[in-house]
Structure 1
Amino acid sequence: MNAPILRRAEPILLVGGGDSPEAHLAPLLARCETRVAADGGAATLLRAGALPDAVIGDLDSLSESDRAQIPAERVHHIAEQDSTDFDKCLRNIAAPLVFGTGFLGPRVDHQLAALTVLTMRADRRCILVGEEDAIALAPPHITLTLPVRLRFSLYPMGLVHGESTGLRWPLGGLDFTPAQRAGTSNETSAETVSLRFDAPLMLIILPVSHLPELARALLSAPDGWPARARG
């Protein structure tokens, strides 16, 4: 596997070309000193007054006027068309956590592609931030502190089994698959929720107002999934 384009010891912000609600973008800009654009996501950063530290993608959505504002050494053209710009970015970033915005709407096909990348790049801890939801791939074990009766959705990207405490409907003993059983619209029954999974195939979906706790829990999770064979 090639060396990453960008390596940081702190969380970074990754901005795609889709909608990035200002109410969520501004706090992420304040939190993350390093900002990366996935192709046309550079326009969102520039409009917010932030010069991208890197632009990564096939560059088919990066306008000439935006490109002219970015130092040439920060622009990384990856021409292959077998992956999305989100995948090109995530596989070329090494950081403890990536906050991704501009990937969850409004097109459903783009959202599904982004969720597939979260699963495919299971060794990269990443939270996708949308207008209503924050979504992350669950690590092998995670513990969160949340209000009781909070919406806590889980969605499988393949066959996966889990154990839980603190959820109204426990996960133990169930087969979760996209075609047969999902875990959407569950809710917390205690302030502490603990989850364990046997494969990197379960997405956690929380109200975006609880993004800080999801980020804390991911950064604190003791174990991670290994990289997959795909480059």
Structure 2
Amino acid sequence: MTVKIVRTDTPLLLVGGGEADSATVRCLHALAPEVVAVDSGAATALAAGVMPRAVVGDMDSLDPETRAQIDPARIHTISEQVSTDFDKALRSVVTPLVLGAGFMGARRDHELANYNALVRHAHRPCILVGGDEIVMLAPPDLHLDLAAGTRVSLFPMRPVRGHSHGLRWPIDGIDFAPHGRVGTSNMATGPVRLTFDEPGMLLILPRSALDLTVRVVLALPGWWPAP
């Protein structure tokens, strides 16, 4: 059984060691008041003037100077090397929504592993935020009031089928798979509805859609069930 390090009824911000500037961290902190740093992401959080409630990870990249600024009781070392630090943090929190900064860019292998974790923890709503884009696992049913012309990209992490309304190129009847058909560079013709029968599809939107997406996700009546 995984120990839950942080429980909150409000959105929670995870800060990782990838690409994330202080302005992004402060912007997301306004949306997610609770903050958990992931290993070296603690330095990124502190640089933005944010003291994390907890630091989670194997601590192989938490530098001594940063560690010295944080109460040792807030540092939670999970030493196993089977999973990534993002995975460790994602499974250690309970929250209605995770926002993640510092998990895209920098190292591509880490970024790909983070997308893998989104699918393996499909029951945990999570939006990863980069400089220009946001990435999330598409829920069973999602309505977004997007402006016509907004880029809507879909990338399958496993074989998956879905239905759409409001896309220039509808996805109904398409067998998506990471080794086959993907749905990148689609476009909204207006408000969009996406439905999927099982978890596995990544949704990639412009960062300008973040506030809308957060509001919609928090208002959803359900998400993917826990395993």
- Whether TM exceeds 0.5 here: the answer is yes
Structure 2 counterpart of 1:200, which letter? P
User: What is aligned with 2:128?
Assistant: 128
How far residue 203 of structure 1 moved from its aligned partner, in angstroms, is 0.6
Residue aligning to 1:160: 160
- In structure 1, the partner of 2:225 is 226
Percent identity between the two aligned chains: 50
User: Does 1:6 pair with 2:27?
Assistant: no
Q: Which amino acid aligns with 1:216?
A: R
Q: Which amino acid aligns with 1:6?
A: V
Aligned to 2:87: 87
Provide runs of 4+ in structure 1 moved above 4 Å: none
- Cα deviation per residue 1:130-174 (whole Å; 9 max; x = unaligned)? 011100001111111111011000110001010110111111111
Partner of 1:37: 37
* TM-score (normalised: structure 1): 0.95
TM-score by length of 2: 0.97
Does the Cα contact within 8 Å between 2:101 and 2:128 map onto a contact in 1?
yes
Report the Cα distance in structure 2 between the residues aligned to 1:49 and 1:21, rounded to whole angstroms. Answer: 12
**C-alpha displacement at 1:31, in angstroms?**
2.4
| Cα RMSD, aligned residues only | 1.1
Amino acid in structure 1 at the alignment position of 2:207: V
Question: Which residue in 2 is equivalent to 1:195?
Answer: 194
Contact 1:152-1:185 at 8 Å conserved across structures: yes
Unaligned runs of 5+ in 1: none
Worse-matched range after superposition: 121-130 or 64-73: 64-73
- Does the C-alpha gap of structure 1 residues 24 and 99 become closer, same or farther in structure 2, counting only changes over 3 Å? same
Aligned equivalent of 1:20 = 20
Q: Which runs of 5+ in 2 are unaligned?
A: none
Deviation at 1:206, TM superposition (A): 0.2
Cα deviation for residue 177 of structure 1 reads 0.3
- Tell me, yes or no, if the aligned pair for 1:21 and 1:130 is still in contact at 8 Å: no
Q: Counterpart amino acid of 1:134?
A: I
Partners of 1:207 and 1:22 in 2: CA distance: 19
1:179 lines up with 2:171 in the alignment: no
State how 1:99-114 maps to structure 2 within 5 Å.
Answer: 99-114=99-114
* C-alpha distance in 2 between matches for 1:198 and 1:39: 35
Contact 1:161 1:197 (C-alpha < 8 Å) held by counterparts: yes
Measured in 1, the distance between the counterparts of 2:109 and 2:63 equals: 23
Query: How do residues 139-158 of structure 1 correspond to structure 2 at under 5 angstroms?
Result: 139-158=139-158
Q: Which amino acid aligns with 1:40?
A: S
Q: Does structure 2 conserve the Cα–Cα contact (< 8 Å) formed by 1:143 and 1:221?
A: no
Counterpart CA distance in 2 for 1:203 and 1:209 is 17
| C-alpha separation in 2, matches of 1:86 and 1:207 | 22
| Superposed displacement of residue 106, structure 1 | 2.2
Aligned partners of 2:54 and 2:76 also within 8 Å: yes
What is the CA-CA distance between 1:30 and the residue it aligns to? Answer: 2.2
Which amino acid letter does the alignment assign opposite residue 46 of structure 2?
A: L
Counterpart residue identity of residue 68, structure 1: A
How far 1:59 sits from its partner (Å)?
Answer: 0.4
Question: Who is 1:216 aligned against?
Answer: 215
In the aligned structure 1, how far is the partner of 2:210 from the partner of 2:223?
A: 19
Q: Could you say what secondary structure the match of 2:167 adopts? A: coil
Letter in 2 for 1:208: R
